[in-house]
Amino acid sequence: MHRYGYTGPGDSSSLTMNTSNVVLDRVVSLPGGVSYTVRGAGSVWSYPNLHGDVVATANSAGVKQGGTIGYDPYGNQLTGTLPDNITGNIDNAWLGQYQRPLEHAPGLVPTVEMGARPYNPTLGRFLGVDPVEGGTSNNYAYVDDPVNIFDLNGQWGWPKIPNPIKAVIDHGKKAASAVKNATVGAVKTVKSFVKENRGFLATLAASAGCLALPGGCVAFQLAAMGVRMQQRGLGKMKENLLDATVTGLTLGIGGAASIALSKQAVIVNGAAWTTPLPGGARAIASGLLWPLGDGIGLAACIAAGQRRTGC
Domain-wise residue ranges, the chain: 3-159, 162-191, 197-303
pLDDT band at 265 (very low <50, low <70, confident <90, very high): very low
Q: Which residue has the higher pLDDT, 265 or 149?
A: 149
Question: What pLDDT was estimated at residue 166?
Answer: 55
Question: What pLDDT was estimated at residue 260?
Answer: 57
- Mean pLDDT, all residues of the chain: 78
Element (H, E) at 193: helix 164-196
Question: What pLDDT was estimated at residue 100?
Answer: 94
Mean predicted confidence (pLDDT) in 205-229: 80
pLDDT band at 239 (very low <50, low <70, confident <90, very high): confident
Distance CA 73, CA 150 (A): 11
pLDDT at 207 over 60: yes
Q: Which residue has the higher pLDDT, 13 or 258?
A: 13
Angle, helix 292-303 to helix 237-261, in steps of 10 degrees: 60
Q: Which residue has the higher pLDDT, 75 or 187?
A: 75
Distance CA 110, CA 242 (A): 93
Residue 229 sits at φ, ψ, to 5 deg, of -65, -40
pTM assigned to the model: 0.50
Q: Which of the residue ranges 6-10, 55-59, 205-209, 246-250 has the most confident prediction, judged by mean pLDDT?
A: 55-59
Question: What pLDDT was estimated at residue 37?
Answer: 95
| Residue pLDDT, tens place only, 7-21 | 888 788 889 999 999
| Residue pLDDT, tens place only, 31-56 | 989 999 999 889 999 999 999 999 99
Q: What is the dihedral of CA 112, 114, 50, 166, to 10 degrees?
A: -160
pLDDT at 125 over 90: yes
Question: What pLDDT was estimated at residue 193?
Answer: 85
Question: What pLDDT was estimated at residue 174?
Answer: 75
pLDDT at 263 over 60: no
pLDDT at 279 over 50: no
pLDDT at 1 over 60: yes
Distance CA 120, CA 251 (A): 94
pLDDT at 251 over 80: no
Q: Which residue has the higher pLDDT, 256 or 113?
A: 113
pLDDT band at 218 (very low <50, low <70, confident <90, very high): confident
Q: Which residue has the higher pLDDT, 27 or 306?
A: 27
Q: Are 91 and 102 in contact (CB under 8 A)?
A: yes
H helix intervals, 215-262: 217-232, 237-261
Question: What pLDDT was estimated at residue 267?
Answer: 45
| Residue pLDDT, tens place only, 73-107 | 999 999 999 999 999 999 999 999 999 999 999 99
Angle, helix 217-232 to helix 198-212, in steps of 10 degrees: 180
Distance CA 47, CA 56 (A): 5
